[in-house]
Amino acid sequence: MVLYVVKRLGVSVIVIAVIMVMLGLLVHLVPGDPARIILGPHATPQTIALIRRDMGLDTPVYAQVWNFMWGAVHGSFGIDPFTSTPVASELGSPLVNTLVLALVSFVLSLAVGIPIGILAAVRQGGIADAIVRGASILLLSTPPYVVGLLLLLLFAVNHHFFPALGIPGGVGGYIKALVLPAVSLAAFWWAYLARLVRSSMLEALGQPFVRTSRAYGLHERAIRYRVVLKNALVPVTALTGLMIGYILAGTVYVEYIFERSGLGSLAVSAITNRDWPVVRAAVLIYAAAFIVGNLLADIAYRFLDPRLRLEERADVFI
């Protein structure tokens, strides 16, 4: 197990390093001179040279890549040429808003998706099961940004239950402004988790240990919720690592739709303005979230499923 974790950590570090190299080369991969694009067509050569120096573009390419990697490791992403402020300071408040939104969506996904899946498995073949399966197909085939637009139209524009755009002041306004974006991100995972829990529980119900429990006279309710559910939640626990990355990535278009101040909306604005230092920082954070999520998912699944550990030991002995 320790060897596997070390290997996965090594692979994750290599992947992050490759992404950082690509981000360091980003300015040179995109057509046009960033300094001239920022200053406009009427800029003087002296001003362009000054901006290029501030952005570190007057050094060799390999030095630019190394400086970006070294700074990113130490939490520094350079200076924003548009505001002349450190990029790291600009990321503070938007990153907090994005993390809060992602956390609320994550908790909401688990709190709704898992019970719905349990209900569908317990009521297999019934009306509840049919409703869950039909609704899950609908939600899985609907992009989250479409769900967000529909929620915005229905609950904010037509009925004014929640704020339409932005983040109002005060704790109450902040919480109300979280509801629609969080539901937009969680809707897909409600369907996915419901189907996953349902299929896992039905598969576990057919295992020999369930028949053994019944033979010992264990109550059917205890079998479902103490024995079967414990085994059915193993793939769900392993999936939570991947959910972190996907939910964080989903905040990009959700924040744009609801005009929330966050890392996603900041990244979209930076891409539009070709503000490459901010783009680099935002992309690196999202990429790191995906990599860490995959790492946690792999380790969790290996830890929770004893069959994988037994196979690993057998390979060592062979």
What does the alpha-carbon distance between residue 252 and residue 115 come to, in Å, rounded to a whole number?
28
How confident is the model over 20-54, as pLDDT tens digits?
A: 888 888 777 776 666 766 666 676 777 777 777 77
Q: Name the nearest CA neighbour of 241 among 182, 291, 181.
A: 291
Q: Is the pLDDT of residue 274 over 80?
A: no
Q: What is the pLDDT of residues 162-183, one digit of tens each?
A: 777 777 677 777 788 888 888 8
Cβ neighbourhood burial of 230 (10 Å; 0-12, 13-18, 19+): exposed
What whole-number distance in Å separates Cα of residue 260 and Cα of residue 246?
18
With pLDDT > 90 as the criterion, what percentage of the chain qualifies? 0
Confidence at residue 316, expressed as pLDDT on a 0 to 100 scale: 44
Which range among 131-140, 162-171, 191-200 shows the weakest confidence by mean pLDDT? 162-171
Per-residue pLDDT for 290 more than 60?
yes
Domain boundaries in the chain?
Answer: 14-73, 96-317
Please choose, from the candidates 12, 3, 9, the residue with its C-alpha nearest in 3D space to the C-alpha of residue 312.
Answer: 3
Residue 28: count of CB within 10 angstroms of its CB: 12
Whether 309 shows a pLDDT value over 60: the answer reads no
Is 50 exceeded by the pLDDT of residue 318?
no
Residue that is written with structure tokens 């704020």 in the block: 163
Q: pLDDT tens across 96-131, in order? A: 888 888 899 999 988 988 888 888 887 777 888 888
What mean pLDDT, rounded, does the chain reach? 79
SS3 67: helix
Considering the segment(s) 96-317 as one domain, its CATH architecture is Orthogonal Bundle (1.10)
Q: Comparing C-alpha atoms, which of 179, 305, 197 is closest to residue 254?
A: 179
d(CA 197, CA 185): 19
> Does pLDDT of 210 surpass 50?
yes
**pLDDT of res. 33:** 66
Are 79 and 68 spatial neighbours (Cβ–Cβ below 8 Å)?
A: no
pTM to 2 decimal places: 0.79
